Structure 1
């Protein structure tokens, strides 16, 4: 809504929105590794569907690969070990990530259906 207020029309806001949303996601903690987030803020990471999506995408695509990755100061590290030690991503946790996505979908559908039911049956 702030973006619509800053632009002359909602059409321009829709165009500019793609830049701002990616910029805000970059700096809102979704792309910071879990190991770098302070311990008292990790609840926010675990409660975020965006964080679970990034975790699932990275681990399902490259989480089991052992290709060497050059890390400055450490030399070559296998990709699987790099993801586990630096980002906290484990390929074995992929089943829990899929279950979390299903749980988010079921919860969202339940809340949405209840909200529609509640809004439709209000006395006016």
Structure 2
């Protein structure tokens, strides 16, 4: 009557409160024990920063903005004060013009890594054994 997909979704939905409670208990016990600084900012908004570094679109945006505006000295009005465009990019987002070679290497590495993982998966992982 119901597919295995529906049972899997139901199981995940049922486990969400349990996993949340487990994470809260872990933080409550671990943070004081390790003497971490216990602020909401350091526990919740900041944990996802790793996602920025592994996202190809963030590196593309960084490369595009840095290559186009990273060496521009024109003054702009930003947050009520005059700043050079390259200074604004550096102070607000950390985009430095000297990082362009690193950005290029990372942007070339993403498709190579994805293609390598795909090739390995196609060659080695065969689920249709006969």
Same fold (TM over 0.5): yes
The list of structure 1 runs, each at least 4 consecutive aligned residues, that deviate by more than 6 angstroms after superposition, is none
Give the superposition deviation at 1:120.
6.0
**Separation of aligned partners in 1, 2:100 and 2:46:** 22
- The correspondence for 1:71, drawn from 78, 81, 100, is 78
Shift of 1:103: 1.4
TM-score, length-normalised on structure 1? 0.62
Q: In 2, Cα distance between the equivalents of 1:122 and 1:49?
A: 32
Q: Which has the larger radius of gyration?
A: 2
2:55 alignment partner, one of 48, 51, 57:
48
Structure 1: runs of 5 or more not aligned: 1-37
**After the TM superposition, which residues 1-124 of structure 1 pair with which residues of structure 2 at under 5 Å, given as runs?**
38-74=45-81, 76-118=82-124, 122-124=128-130
**Structure 2 CA distance, aligned partners of 1:71 and 1:120?**
55
C-alpha distance in 1 between matches for 2:76 and 2:107: 29
Q: What is the alpha-carbon distance in structure 1 between the residues aligned to residue 128 and residue 70 of structure 2?
A: 49
Cα distance in 2, alignment partners of residues 72 and 117 from structure 1: 54
Q: Which runs of 5+ in 2 are unaligned?
A: 1-44
- What displacement does 1:122 show? 4.3
Number of aligned positions between the proteins: 86
Aligned alpha-carbon RMSD (Å): 1.8
**Greater relative contact order structure (CA < 8 Å, 6+ sep):** 1
